[in-house]
Chain A
Amino acid sequence: MRELLRRYRYFLWAVVLLLSILLLYSYNLRQKSATTFFERAVLTLAAPFQASLDRAVDAVNAAWQHYLWLVETKQRNIQLEKENRRLRSQLQQVAEVRLQNGRLRELLAFVDVLDRPALPAQVIGEDAGSWARTVTIDKGTRAGLQAGLPVVAAEGVVGRIIKSAPYSSRVLLVTDASSAVAALVQRTRTRGVVRGRGAELSLDYASRDADIQKGDLLVTSGMGGVFPKGLTLGHVVAAERDRFGLFQQVRVLPAADFTHLEEVLVIVGEDR
């Protein structure tokens, strides 16, 4: 027996290690909203780097767009060109500020409609994997955020916070495969569960007989306890019925544009 154990000791060690980690993963699945010490440490350590990297890339991008590409084409009239570049740069900065202003105004208008206290936050990072859909925002427990809080944009629901560190938090987007939001079709009040499918969403458990048409608006039903009722989730792009299925297969296009997510709102309180 001892000889057998000695001969296969590496194999046994590998199996034990793999099983232990599967147990750890399985245990952590039950504690989804709890941020472990390791995760908190990594997020805390990475947040300033992510924010700096974000700013540096913006600065390099701005420098490239505002200055470098102009150099070769405008050799003459250096003084005039300098002035021209400065003004262009200022104009573009003003345009950028105007755009940001517009987005923040939309968010503020949305906060008024929402009638709940909300905290604005900046997206500073995206998911490191290819299958999961999460983003990192620049506010954390120091700003009063915690796991479970809903996150929205002016266009609609973004997701909910799943991990929170002192200065950053991770948000599970509604498009993530593990995300599920109780929803209803605004026109017919048909209930269902909106699940993430990467770039799109699907409406599950919508009864086969329910009247769902292309273009129908889906809103949160408020049943899950996370999202307030009536927030926009997306529009139906296709509804199909199998010959034998109990439910319809409904594809939904999310209202929020996740490819250009910059500012979001974290809903931090109850109805005013």
Chain B
Amino acid sequence: MRGFVFYLAIGLLAALAQTSFLPLFFPPGLRPDLLLVLVIYLGLSEHMLRAVLLVLLLGGIQDSFSGTSLGLYIFVYLAVLLQVRLLSEHLNVESPPLLLLLIAGGTLVQDLLLAFCLTIFADVGSVVHILLPSFPLHVFVNLVAAAIGLFFILRIRPLFGFRSGLAGLMYQSKRHGS
């Protein structure tokens, strides 16, 4: 339960940062999707049921701060989570480049699903004109954010106990085995 509330608080903080802090320094295309990074992290590290419940709430939070209708990001994040879960069973998630590749893939899936839902359900086809040109930059920014996050997580984790956090990340720490 403590972990659940912790991740929820992290999600709320990320949403606040995305709405109030990051816009001061970055234009819309240059802001990282912190919640997407968190969703992928949850997909790799948390128990499935807990991850699904968290992702439903995080999607709702993102929907409350973005777009027009509740449900869009809940769907997109859930789909991303399920795919990450499926993939993580077949891949070596201890590899940092692979984790970053998952972020890139997650960004692609998110943008594709957003474009699909907005075009098919909401009849907002012109969103493709916004999403397509900004996609490479979007991936790059998310990768940079994830790399910075990874850098700090690997250094902060030992302070809170070796076993806590993402299982896959444990093996990336330089302190592993020492």
Chain A residues with a Cβ under 8 A of chain B: 14, 17-18, 21-22, 24-29, 31-32, 36, 38-39, 42-43, 45-46, 49-50, 53-54, 57, 124-134, 136, 162-163, 170, 172, 176-178, 195-198, 202, 259
Contact with B27, one of A22, A32, A163, A259 (Cβ below 8 angstroms): A259
Q: How large is the interface on B (under 10, 10 to 19, 20 to 34, 35 or more residues)?
A: 35 or more
Tell me whether A197 and B69 are in contact in the complex, defined as CB-CB below 8 angstroms, given that A17-B78, A42-B64, A50-B19 are known contacts: no
Interface status of B16 (Cβ within 8 A of chain A): yes
Tell me whether A46 and B15 are in contact in the complex, defined as CB-CB below 8 angstroms, given that A28-B69, A132-B67 are known contacts: yes
Interface status of B118 (Cβ within 8 A of chain A): yes
Tell me whether A126 and B19 are in contact in the complex, defined as CB-CB below 8 angstroms, given that A28-B70, A29-B69, A131-B114 are known contacts: yes
Specify which chain A residues have a CB less than 8 angstroms from the CB of B18 in the assembled complex. 128
**A256 CA to B27 CA, complexed, in Å:** 16
Question: Could you tell me which residues of chain B, from 1 to 42, have a CB within 8 Å of some CB in chain A?
Answer: 12, 15-16, 18-21, 23-24, 27-29, 31, 33, 35
Chain B residues with a Cβ under 8 A of chain A: 12, 15-16, 18-21, 23-24, 27-29, 31, 33, 35, 52, 56, 60-75, 78-79, 82, 111, 114, 117-118, 121-122, 124, 126-127, 129-131, 134, 138
**A130 CA to B79 CA, complexed, in Å:** 19
CB of A198 within 8 A of CB of B129, answer yes
Residue of B61, B69, B75, B134 with most partner-chain A CB within 10 A: B69
**A128 CA to B34 CA, complexed, in Å:** 9
**A39 CA to B129 CA, complexed, in Å:** 28
CB of B28 within 8 A of CB of A24, answer no
CB of A127 within 8 A of CB of B66, answer yes
CB of A125 within 8 A of CB of B70, answer no
Tell me whether A17 and B126 are in contact in the complex, defined as CB-CB below 8 angstroms, given that A28-B70, A42-B64, A128-B18 are known contacts: no
**A176 CA to B121 CA, complexed, in Å:** 16
User: B118 to chain A: closest CB distance in Å?
Assistant: 7
Specify which chain B residues have a CB less than 8 angstroms from the CB of A172 in the assembled complex. 68
CB of A196 within 8 A of CB of B12, answer no
CB of B121 within 8 A of CB of A46, answer no
User: B47 to chain A: closest CB distance in Å?
Assistant: 13
Contact with B126, one of A38, A170, A195 (Cβ below 8 angstroms): A195
CB of B64 within 8 A of CB of A177, answer no
Contact with B66, one of A129, A195, A196, A197 (Cβ below 8 angstroms): A129
Per CB-CB distance, the 10 closest pairs between chain A and chain B, nearest first, are A25-B71, A129-B66, A128-B65, A125-B19, A42-B64, A177-B127, A198-B130, A126-B23, A28-B69, A128-B18
CB of B60 within 8 A of CB of A53, answer no
Tell me whether A178 and B68 are in contact in the complex, defined as CB-CB below 8 angstroms, given that A25-B117, A54-B20, A131-B114 are known contacts: yes
User: A9 to chain B: closest CB distance in Å?
Assistant: 12
User: A256 to chain B: closest CB distance in Å?
Assistant: 15
CB of A128 within 8 A of CB of B126, answer no
CB of B33 within 8 A of CB of A21, answer no
Residue of B16, B28, B31, B64 with most partner-chain A CB within 10 A: B64
Residue of A18, A36, A136, A178 with most partner-chain B CB within 10 A: A178
CB of B126 within 8 A of CB of A18, answer no
User: B76 to chain A: closest CB distance in Å?
Assistant: 9
CB of B75 within 8 A of CB of A130, answer no
The closest CB in chain A to the CB of B72 belongs to A25
Tell me whether A46 and B71 are in contact in the complex, defined as CB-CB below 8 angstroms, given that A127-B28, A130-B134 are known contacts: no
Specify which chain A residues have a CB less than 8 angstroms from the CB of B70 in the assembled complex. 24-25, 28, 36, 38-39
Contact with B21, one of A57, A131, A162, A177 (Cβ below 8 angstroms): A57
**A197 CA to B124 CA, complexed, in Å:** 10
**A29 CA to B75 CA, complexed, in Å:** 14
